[in-house]
């Protein structure tokens, strides 16, 4: 026996609702296979859902485009901050500078290890400490650290901070759009389930094959197992349902859902 499968992607949900909505336009209310109450809810909801999908896609695409620019800038800033600290530590190791120079940068005086710069907030924190500490040293008349000098570190650091703030806004926009869409998905699933149940109840007196043929027009999706397809092969209704089945099985999630960096 073929089984019914509810849509599990945004485009599949939208397609199911549009099919039911189109039948509501084409069919007289007294002949419609689902209730007027469900039709009214569908009419009020479908545009909101489509707009939410569009808004999420737009936010996601903007974040993706920003990520392509953002990542190289982050890597370059991390490289310069890291190299500056390494130059200081190597100078201390060679005896050219005293260990207490590390106090200017809020580094452990007796340790020559590199602080963690993996997370962006860590990079922001240590980058600012390095810049502030080096400017304090040079203002006291001490010779600047070179290769890289602090001016070059500061250029790459400030570029990173600016793009970081912009990228965070895009991430927040994407997260907010995704949350809103998730809420609407639950409503869409319940509405589709209600309509499909009402459609099948409306045609319950028909033979199973005929019932499914009518229900498919309302967007109901049936999945045929291989043996069932072979058994019913040659029936005109089954050909249409098999095509629907193939489209459904090949369907993938068309709206992005994973967060970008």
pLDDT at 228 over 90: no
Position 237 scores a pLDDT of 47
Backbone angles phi, psi at 225, to 5 degrees: -75, 160
Burial (CB count within 10 angstroms: exposed 0-12, middle 13-18, buried 19+), residue 78: buried
pLDDT at 87 over 80: yes
**Residue 233 confidence class, pLDDT cut points 50, 70, 90:** low
Short-list 260, 261, 203, CA closest to 237: 203
The Cα-based distances of 153 to 17, 105, 130, 132 in angstroms read 55, 14, 9, 12
Sequence length of the chain is 261
As a whole number, the mean pLDDT across the chain is 89
pLDDT at 245 over 70: no
Short-list 2, 29, 22, 19, CA closest to 196: 19
- Rounded Cα distance, 153 and 105, in Å: 14
**Residue 231 confidence class, pLDDT cut points 50, 70, 90:** low
DSSP state of 260: P
Q: Mean pLDDT, to the nearest integer, of 153-165?
A: 97
Position 241 scores a pLDDT of 45
Q: Mean pLDDT, to the nearest integer, of 190-218?
A: 95
- Rounded Cα distance, 131 and 138, in Å: 11
**Residue 230 confidence class, pLDDT cut points 50, 70, 90:** low
Query: What global pTM score does this model have?
Result: 0.74
Tokens standing for residue 173: 């926009």
**Residue 16 confidence class, pLDDT cut points 50, 70, 90:** very high
Q: Mean pLDDT, to the nearest integer, of 117-141?
A: 96
Position 254 scores a pLDDT of 56
**Residue 227 confidence class, pLDDT cut points 50, 70, 90:** confident
């Amino acid at each position: 026996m073929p089984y019914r499968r509810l849509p599990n992607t945004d485009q599949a949900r939208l397609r199911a609702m549009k099919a039911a909505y189109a039948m509501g336009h084409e069919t007289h209310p007294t002949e419609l296979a689902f209730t007027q109450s469900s039709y009214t809810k569908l009419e009020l909801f479908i545009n909101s859902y489509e707009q939410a999908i569009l808004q999420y896609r737009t936010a996601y695409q903007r974040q993706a485009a920003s990520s392509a620019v953002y990542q190289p800038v982050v890597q370059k800033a991390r490289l310069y901050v890291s190299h500056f600290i390494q130059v200081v530590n190597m100078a201390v190791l060679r005896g050219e500078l005293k260990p207490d120079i590390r106090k200017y940068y809020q580094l452990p005086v007796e340790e020559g290890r590199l602080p963690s710069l993996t997370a962006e907030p860590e990079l922001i924190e240590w980058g600012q400490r390095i810049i502030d500490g080096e400017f304090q040293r040079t203002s006291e008349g001490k010779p600047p650290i070179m290769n890289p000098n602090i001016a070059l570190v500061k250029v790459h650091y400030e570029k990173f901070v600016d793009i970081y703030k912009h990228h965070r806004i895009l991430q927040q926009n994407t997260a907010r759009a995704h949350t809103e869409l998730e809420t609407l998905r639950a409503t869409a699933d319940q509405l589709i389930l209600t309509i499909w149940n009402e459609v099948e109840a409306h045609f319950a007196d028909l033979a199973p094959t005929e019932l499914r043929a009518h229900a498919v027009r309302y967007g109901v999706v049936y999945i045929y197992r291989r043996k069932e397809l072979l058994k019913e092969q040659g029936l005109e209704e089954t050909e249409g349902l098999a095509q629907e089945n193939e489209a459904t099985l090949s369907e993938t999630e068309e709206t992005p859902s994973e967060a970008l960096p």
